[in-house]
């Protein structure tokens, strides 16, 4: 094999990683769903869920993919958790039947139905979000998609932020609307390692 | 006006009272005062979560059970039957089993032993509360709403302390609608006719609010126990030949004492909540 052929073959090697569907397992410590909601028209309350599990499948050559995220709703955190004087906190309120009703619905799930690519990178993901037992179609923008080796572990990984907006009332979470905003901005930071 | 109607206190207090009074006044001569209680609750729902049954959560089940209890009351009063001990037992058992159905989705997620304890405690609490409420309010159309006021306000306040504003509003709205029913009788100077079954929806609804505040919010079970004394407390104020308005106030205060004790106990145990 001459030098040109070897060079050409070497340049094609990274692309071979995309030639077939590749499964990635979500890194639970770096896959974090964040949300933001307007409070009384005054400011934005921001929060997140502290644990997520799931997996991603990506086939860049075929321009398809799949992602499933499972989020335990009891892990919600808005910076007002346990109080030293024992009084009920905002997070306690959010876990109650007024909002996430974690006792009845301990999990919310996002499951994709379609990946839309722009070039070699996913641009949007369409899927179903199931919250409070209600499933609705949502479309998430894929922001900052990137793949490479983790600089410390050298393990192949991919990551992106998934961004979108939902109306919580569509899922039956109507308490406090409109004083507590109906529109919820979602940003799901996703990092996943190749299996 | 919109800002006013978005105020939780107005939604749960003022509006149900006004609606309960407007509906209750023309019904004060009839056996159908349960309609006024139901109307007060409906007014709260119209201003808050609406009437959609999707998703069919435990709160929606609570509302359905309360509606069915009201319809049962209306049917019973239409039949002009007195409330026999057997009927008290049947109604109480029905509400107790309905309460277990209400929390079914939570029960199936528990380990078997925990589910039995939770379900058993729910059924026992509702059975005792309903039996006490119905037995003591039978044939007394003043006693029934007074018990409803104390149970509604007590359960509602406990739910707020347990970090659920919605359950708090439901309890308070039930209690306030019952207060409207008391008022129309006081103004009329005469007790409404009937078997007193229309205390059923208020007592059932308030009992279910308390249960849900424990199961889905942060209220501890023990704070519900003083509410079991509410149905019998009004008997401490003897009616004799006193004017109706004085009897209503005296019995009302007596009914509120155990409810106030329950709320004070929960509050002093650290169960307060700040606005979200």
Kindly report the nearest CA distance between residue A110 and chain B, in angstroms.
18
Kindly report the nearest CA distance between residue A106 and chain B, in angstroms.
9
Which of A 126-145 lie inside 8 A of B, CB atoms?
132-134
Global pTM reads 0.89
Kindly report the nearest CA distance between residue A126 and chain B, in angstroms.
23
Kindly tell me if the per-residue pLDDT of B274 is higher than 50: no
Task: Retrieve residue B73's tokens.
Answer: 């009351």
Q: What is the ipTM of this complex?
A: 0.87
pLDDT for the residue B109: 94
Kindly tell me if the per-residue pLDDT of A104 is higher than 70: yes
- B-chain CB neighbours of A47 within 8 Å are none
Judge whether A92 is closer than 8 Å to chain B, CB to CB: yes
pLDDT in tens, B34-81: 899 999 999 999 999 999 998 999 999 999 999 999 999 999 889 888
Q: What is the mean pLDDT of residues B160-171?
A: 94
Burial class (CB in 10 A: 0-12, 13-18, 19+), A12: exposed
* Contact assignment for B55 to A171 by CB distance below 8 Å: yes
Upstream peptide bond of B193 is cis (omega within 30 degrees of 0): no
Judge whether A48 is closer than 8 Å to chain B, CB to CB: no
**For chain B, what percent of residues have pLDDT higher than 70?**
97
Side-chain half-sphere of A29: how many Cα atoms within 13 Å?
0
pLDDT for the residue A18: 47
CA–CA distance, B205 with B133 (Å, rounded to integer) = 12
pLDDT in tens, B207-229: 999 999 999 998 999 999 999 99
Nearest by CB: A96 against B6, B163, B274: B163
For strands A107-118 and A64-72, give the pairing: antiparallel
- B-chain CB neighbours of A86 within 8 Å are 269-271
pLDDT for the residue A81: 80
Kindly tell me if the per-residue pLDDT of A15 is higher than 90: no
Task: Retrieve residue A123's tokens.
Answer: 């641009």
- A-chain CB neighbours of B272 within 8 Å are 87-88
| More confident call, B240 vs A98 | A98
- B-chain CB neighbours of A90 within 8 Å are 274, 276
pLDDT for the residue B65: 96
* Contact assignment for B54 to A134 by CB distance below 8 Å: yes
The residue of chain B with its CA nearest to that of A169 is B49
Kindly tell me if the per-residue pLDDT of A86 is higher than 70: no
- A-chain CB neighbours of B106 within 8 Å are 103-104
Kindly report the nearest CA distance between residue B79 and chain A, in angstroms.
37
The residue of chain B with its CA nearest to that of A181 is B276
CA–CA distance, B142 with B133 (Å, rounded to integer) = 12
pLDDT class of A4 with cuts at 50, 70, 90: low
Render A20-67 in DSSP notation, one character per residue. S-EEEEE-TTT-EEEEEEEETTTEEEEEEES--EEEEEEETTTTEEEE
pLDDT in tens, B85-94: 999 999 999 9
- SS3 assignment, position B29: coil
Nearest by CB: A87 against B212, B273, B276: B273
* Contact assignment for B164 to A101 by CB distance below 8 Å: no
Neighbours of B118 (CB within 10 A): 19
Nearest by CB: B6 against A39, A104, A179: A179
Judge whether A19 is closer than 8 Å to chain B, CB to CB: no
Is the distance from CB of B147 to CB of B203 less than 8 angstroms? yes
pLDDT class of A14 with cuts at 50, 70, 90: very low
Kindly tell me if the per-residue pLDDT of A160 is higher than 70: yes
């Amino acid at each position: 094999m001459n030098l040109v052929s070897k060079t050409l073959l070497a340049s094609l090697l990274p692309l071979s990683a995309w030639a077939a569907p590749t499964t990635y397992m979500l890194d639970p410590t770096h896959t974090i769903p964040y949300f933001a909601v307007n409070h009384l028209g005054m400011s934005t309350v921001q929060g997140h869920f502290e644990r997520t599990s799931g997996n991603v499948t990506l086939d860049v050559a075929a321009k398809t993919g799949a992602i499933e995220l499972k989020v335990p709703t009891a892990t919600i955190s808005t910076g007002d958790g346990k109080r030293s004087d024992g009084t009920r906190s905002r997070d306690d309120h959010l876990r109650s039947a007024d909002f996430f009703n974690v006792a009845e619905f301990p999990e919310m799930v996002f499951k994709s139905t379609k990946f839309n690519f722009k070039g070699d990178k996913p641009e949007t993901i369409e899927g179903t979000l199931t919250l409070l037992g209600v499933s609705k179609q949502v479309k998430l923008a894929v922001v900052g998609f990137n793949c490479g080796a983790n600089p410390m572990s050298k393990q192949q990984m991919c990551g992106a932020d998934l961004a979108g907006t939902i109306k919580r009332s569509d899922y039956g979470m109507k308490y406090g609307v409109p004083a507590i905003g109906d529109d919820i901005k979602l940003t799901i930071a996703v990092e996943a390692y190749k299996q | 006006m919109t800002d006013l109607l978005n105020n939780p206190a107005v939604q749960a207090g003022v509006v149900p009272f006004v609606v309960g009074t407007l509906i209750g006044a023309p019904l004060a001569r009839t056996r159908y005062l349960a309609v006024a209680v139901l109307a007060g609750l409906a007014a709260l729902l119209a201003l808050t979560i609406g009437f959609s049954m999707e998703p069919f959560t435990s709160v929606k089940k609570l509302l359905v059970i309360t509606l069915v209890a009201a319809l049962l009351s209306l049917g019973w009063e239409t039949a002009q039957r007195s409330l026999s001990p057997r009927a008290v037992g049947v109604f109480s058992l029905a509400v107790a089993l309905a309460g277990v159905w209400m929390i079914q989705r939570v029960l199936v997620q528990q380990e078997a032993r925990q589910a039995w304890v939770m379900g058993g405690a729910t059924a026992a609490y509702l059975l005792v509360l309903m039996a006490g409420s119905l037995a003591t309010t039978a044939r007394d159309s003043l006693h029934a709403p007074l018990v409803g006021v104390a149970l509604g306000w007590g359960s509602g306040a406990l739910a707020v302390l347990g970090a659920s504003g919605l359950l708090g509003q439901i309890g308070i709205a039930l209690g306030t609608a019952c207060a409207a029913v008391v008022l129309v009788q006081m103004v009329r100077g005469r007790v409404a006719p009937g078997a007193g079954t229309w205390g059923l929806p208020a007592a059932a609804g308030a009992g279910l609010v308390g249960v849900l505040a424990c199961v889905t919010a942060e209220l501890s079970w023990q704070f519900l126990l003083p509410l079991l004394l509410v149905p019998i407390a009004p008997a401490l104020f003897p009616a004799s030949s006193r004017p109706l308005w004085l009897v209503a106030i005296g019995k009302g205060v007596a009914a509120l004492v155990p409810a106030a004790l329950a709320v004070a106990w929960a509050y002093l145990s650290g169960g307060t909540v700040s606005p979200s």
